[in-house]
Structure formats: structure tokens, C-alpha cells
Amino acid sequence: MFPTMIGTVVIAGIIGYLAEKTEFTHNGILASIIICVGGAFLFYFIRLMFGFGFSSPGVNAIVSSIGALIIVPFHWRK
């Protein structure tokens, strides 16, 4: 359980960094990493509690990080 959580955080951080470096988002590096890690944690705990998700924890981390980057910044912008 603990290595899966650490791997989720690492993958989410990498996705956040790459999203900012490839100009997919314009939030700033730290903000993008925080958004990705938050989304990945949320999806990780939903998977633990309810069993939803894909077969691989890595795929869960990637999909939830990208989903958080798409939903959060556009939701708060005007």
C-alpha cells in the first residue's frame, strides 16, 4: 500500500512538471504539481474505499493527474 502511494505521488509530480514544461497548462510548475498530486491522491483513496479504477495503479495516477489538470484550472478561470 505504501509503495503504491509513493509511486502515485512521483508519477503525479512528473505529469505536473511535464504539463507545465510542454505548455499544456500555464499555472506555474509548483501549482501544476500540487494540482496533479491532489487529484492523484483523491483518486487513490477513492480506489481504496470503493474499488473504482483501472487495473494498474500507474494508469490510475496518470489519468487522475491529467484529469485534475484539465478540470481545476479551467473551472476557476473566467
Domain that holds residue 16: 2-76
- For 13-71, write each residue's pLDDT tens digit: 999 999 999 988 888 899 999 999 999 999 999 988 998 888 888 899 999 999 998 88
What pLDDT, on the 0 to 100 scale, is given for residue 54? Answer: 83
C-alpha cell at 47: 480506489
Whole-prediction pTM value? Answer: 0.85
What pLDDT, on the 0 to 100 scale, is given for residue 4? Answer: 87
Give the contacts of 15 (CB within 8 A, at least 6 positions apart): 36, 61, 62, 65, 66, 69
Secondary structure element (H or E) that encloses residue 17, with its range: helix 2-21
**Number of domains within the chain:** 1
With vertex at residue 18, the alpha carbon angle to CA 17 and CA 20, rounded to the nearest 5 degrees, is: 70
